[in-house]
Amino acid sequence: MIKKVFPILALSIFSSMLGVGIIAPLLPLYAENLGATGIGLGVIFASFSISRALFMPIIGRLSDRSGRKRFISIGLFIYSIISLGYIWAGNVSQLTLVRLIQGAAAGMIIPIAQAYVGDVSPEGEEGKWMGYFNAAFFTGFGFGPLMGGVLTDHFGMDVAFYSMGGLNLLAFLLVVLFLPEISHRKRATSPHLSFKEMSTSGMVRGIFSFRLAYSLGNGSFSCFLPIFAAFYIGLSPTLIGVLLAVNILLMSLLQFYSGKVADRFDRRSLIILGGLISLTFLAIIPLAHSFWFLLGLCILGGLAGAISMPAASALTIEEGRKFGMGSTIAVFTMAMSIGMAIGPLLGGVIMDSLNVDSVFYFGAAMGLVGTSLFIWFTR
């Protein structure tokens, strides 16, 4: 079944993430034009992840009981409509509200789509299919910044926001028209187990800690690299888009291979290796003094994600077969959302109190903590 439905799901996720990625290099600059300080910028970024984190455990449990397709469809539709809110927003408060609504919609899309893939992935091939899924996700999200930078330079930010809405509407139509629902028999559900029982698993706690710390560093990187690149090195939106695109696209292209590697080699070791490379990449960013230096670091960061993410996703599917696929993936995606929320918030405080360099040092330190906790919990 997976070979029949995966192309539809992958194309939908690619289209949606292409739209989302468009605003990655624009949002920090757009928020600053509205008068956002470092803390205000952190709040704008964090609001998306906070609402997503709050909704995901609920939606994940509901999808275990009543199906995946309806939640993916509803989330994509809301996402496409609220994308126009970026044009409407005239101040930091309104932009934060738009991000809150969009975050809630996002909680219905990626984690539930991952649960769909987990349901239909054959045992022993979890890394392969989650690698393919991650490739579709990151390829869309990777081309997005490049597309967003070019659109903004030539047509203005409003066109970029319209494009985000249109691409998510296309993804919505693909899901509604072509993606079949999974029968209850095929869904990995364990309704008798609670989130409390799930938390007793050392693997659950280890992956949760790793995903939280990794996303915290990644959230700081995504939020403050455009500021660092624009104001300290003088790069244009197009070049900033290139940096973000290279980081994400390299990670996505390597997923095709690294997913299979995660099925053949020790997944725990791959996660540890990826975590160590990631924290090194963040720690070196403040030393960058040119576009080419930053480009090399973005390549290193992409390699870190390519090594660790398929292995972590495969282990998540294994736990999902015990505790319910939607519920388990929602918990791990919630860890990502919490990290993506805390990273920009604390990063904003650090930037206003110290400087933007300290934001990346902070992200590297958190990466070290998260990798160490993963080693401890899964020992």
What is the pLDDT averaged over residues 135-163? 79
State pLDDT tens for residues 5-36.
888 888 888 887 777 777 766 777 788 788 87
Q: Which helix (H) or strand (E) element contains residue 359?
A: helix 356-377
| Predicted TM-score (pTM) of this structure | 0.73
Q: Could you give the CA distance from residue 256 to residue 279 in angstroms, rounded to a whole number?
A: 23
Which tokens go with 247?
């980081």
Pick the CATH number of 8-177+198-377 from 3.30.420.40, 1.10.1740.10, 1.20.1250.20, 3.20.20.70: 1.20.1250.20
Per-chain mean pLDDT for the chain: 82
What is the pLDDT averaged over residues 122-142? 79
List CB contacts of 49: < 8 A, sequence separation 6 or more. Answer: 103, 219, 336, 337, 338, 339, 340, 341
- The CA-CA-CA angle for residues 335, 120, 272, to 5°, reads 40
Which tokens go with 105?
């919609």
Beta strands in 84-139 (DSSP E): none
State pLDDT tens for residues 278-325.
999 999 999 888 889 989 998 998 889 888 888 888 888 888 777 777
Q: Could you give the CA distance from residue 55 to residue 111 in angstroms, rounded to a whole number?
A: 11
State pLDDT tens for residues 241-267.
788 778 877 887 887 788 788 888 888
> Is the Cβ–Cβ distance between 171 and 16 less than 8 Å?
yes
- Cα–Cα distances in angstroms (integers) from residue 323 to residues 42, 64, 198, 263, in the given order: 34, 10, 6, 21
pLDDT on residue 266 = 85
- The CA-CA-CA angle for residues 259, 329, 167, to 5°, reads 75
State pLDDT tens for residues 346-365.
888 888 888 888 889 998 99
DSSP secondary structure string, 160-203? Answer: HHHHHHHHHHHHHHHHHHHPPPPPTTTS---TT--HHHHTT-HH
> Is the Cβ–Cβ distance between 213 and 369 less than 8 Å?
yes
Which tokens go with 131?
């690698």
Res. 337 pLDDT band, cuts 50 70 90: confident
pLDDT on residue 66 = 78
pLDDT on residue 240 = 83
User: DSSP assignment, residue 25?
Assistant: T
127, burial (CB in 10 Å: exposed 0-12, middle 13-18, buried 19+): buried
End-to-end Cα separation, the chain, in angstroms: 36
State pLDDT tens for residues 172-219.
998 888 888 776 555 445 545 556 677 778 888 899 899 899 888 888
pLDDT on residue 356 = 83
| N residues, the chain | 379
DSSP secondary structure string, 115-127? Answer: HHHHHHPPTT-HH
